[in-house]
Amino acid sequence: MLSLIGQRLKTTIPSVIGVIIVTFLLTRVLPGDTAAYFAGPAATPQAIAEIRSKLGLDQPLPVQFVSYVSALVKGDLGTSLTTGQAVTADLAQRLPASAELTLLGLLISMAIALPLGVLAAVRQGSWIDHLCRIVATAGVSLPVFFTGLLLVYVFYFILGWAPAPLGRLDAFLSEPPRVTGLLLVDSLVAGDGETFRAALSQILLPAVTLAIFSLAPITRMTRASMLAVLGADFVRTARASGLSSRKVIGTYAFRNAMLPVVTTLGMVFSFLLGANVLVEKVFAWPGVGSYAVEALLASDYAPIQGFVLTMAILYVALNLLIDILYGVIDPRVRMEG
């Protein structure tokens, strides 16, 4: 197992190096002049030039790259001009917020999508299959910001069940002591029931928004993969051997159908983590997606590079995790590794 992880890690090194180079170059070719933007209104050309040299933007590209990489080796991702803070600090602050939201969204989504997909495959053509189709189509065709605004409108504005969409915690409560950065976990660790409830009520609507969006790929993938497996020889053999339907579907078919589903889950998770900008905007969620987009609008290089790099590393880690999961689900994969 360890050698498998080592080998996998080795293959990811070139892609990480590639990501570093590409993001560096991409941010430099973006139109827009960071120095002119941050010199603010009424800036003189001298003021702009001063800022440019302070940021090192007057240096030739290779020099800028070397200083970027040498800082990177020391774990320094630079300073964001939009928040005025170190990028590592910003990301450390915001990544848990995004991760918590995405994880909960994915959990809700899985709790609905997996049973729904399995049932749809087992009772192909029944009403549950149609329901599955409707859910999948609706989930894909409703843009997240629309679902988000709709949920806010119904549950907060009209019904008043949900708390004000003010971010991760009510404005009048303070955060629990930081352990993991996930408020739900931290408040439980601190044994603070009130904060836990408050954090949960804040996170539910955005998490449900994300869940609705990610329902579609997971349901469809589960259904398709279950269908393929249910038609396979070993399932027929199992049925012919007189095993109960529950045992056939639950133990044999489902486990075999999980491989493509796990892959999809990985994809959906990494996609959601970076791409839920709109949900973050609607619910004022202080996550990494909106952070990166704001930096992009201001041509603020350091956060963009930091964001892309973090995402790349997360993606690599996630893929590794999925590879390992494959081995757990299907022993044949383990042998090949």
Partner 1 sequence: MGITRRAALAGGLSAPFLMSGRAGAQAPSRSETLLLVQEYGPNSLDMQGIGSSQPVNGVALNCYDRLLRFKPVPIPGGGGNQVSMGELEGELAESWQIASDGMSCTFKLRDAKFHSGRKVTAKDVKWSLDRAVTIGGFATTQMNAGSLEKPEQFVVVDDKTFRIDFIRKDKLTMPNLAVTIPFVFDSELAIKNSGGDPLAKEWLKNNVAGSGAFKVESWKPGVETIYVRNDDWACGPLPKLRRVIARDIASPSTRRALIERGDADISYGLPPKDFKDLADGGKINVVGVPIPNGVWGLYLNSQVGPFKDVRLRQAVAWVLPYEKMLQASLFGRGVDMSGGPETPKPAWPTPFPYKTNVEKAKALVAAAGGGFSTTLQFDAGNATVAEPMSVLIKEALASIGIEVEITKVPGANFRTEIAKKTNPMTLNRFAGWLDYPDYYLFWTMHGNNSIFNIANYQNPDLDKLIDAARFTTDKAAYEKYVVDFVSLVEREVPMIPISQPTHDVAMQKSIGGYQFQPCREPDFRYLTKGA
Residues at the contact surface with partner 1, assessed by CB under 8 A: 30-34, 36-44, 46-47, 50-51, 54, 81-85, 90, 93-94, 149, 152-153, 155-157, 160-167, 170-172, 194, 197-198, 200-201, 204, 208, 280-284, 286, 290-291, 294, 297-299
Measured from the CB of residue 59, what is the shortest distance to partner 1 in angstroms? Answer: 18
Between 34 and 214, CB nearer to partner 1: 34
Is the CB of 165 or the CB of 217 nearer to partner 1? 165
Written in H, E and C, the secondary structure of the chain is CHHHHHHHHHHHHHHHHHHHHHHHHHHHHCCCCHHHHHCCCCCCHHHHHHHHHHCCCCCCHHHHHHHHHHHHHCCCCCECCCCCCEHHHHHHHHHHHHHHHHHHHHHHHHHHHHHHHHHHHHCCCCHHHHHHHHHHHHHHHCCHHHHHHHHHHHHHHHCCCCCCCCCCCCCCCCCCCCCCCCHHHHHHHCCCHHHHHHHHHHHHHHHHHHHHHHHHHHHHHHHHHHHHHHCCHHHHHHHHCCCCHHHHHHHHHHHHHHHHHHHHHHHHHHHHHHHCHHHHHHCCCCCHHHHHHHHHHCCCHHHHHHHHHHHHHHHHHHHHHHHHHHHHHCHHHHHHC
- Nearer to partner 1 (CB atom), residue 116 or residue 258: 116
* Shortest reach from residue 148's CB to partner 1, in Å: 9
Q: Which is nearer to partner 1, 296 or 322 (CB)?
A: 296
CB nearer partner 1, residue 75 or residue 84 = 84
In angstroms, give the least distance from the CB of 41 to partner 1.
Answer: 7
Nearer to partner 1 among residue 32 and residue 56 (C-beta): 32
Nearest-approach distance from CB 226 to partner 1, in angstroms: 19
Shortest Å, Cβ 69 to partner 1: 24
Query: Cβ 224 to partner 1, closest distance in Å?
Result: 23
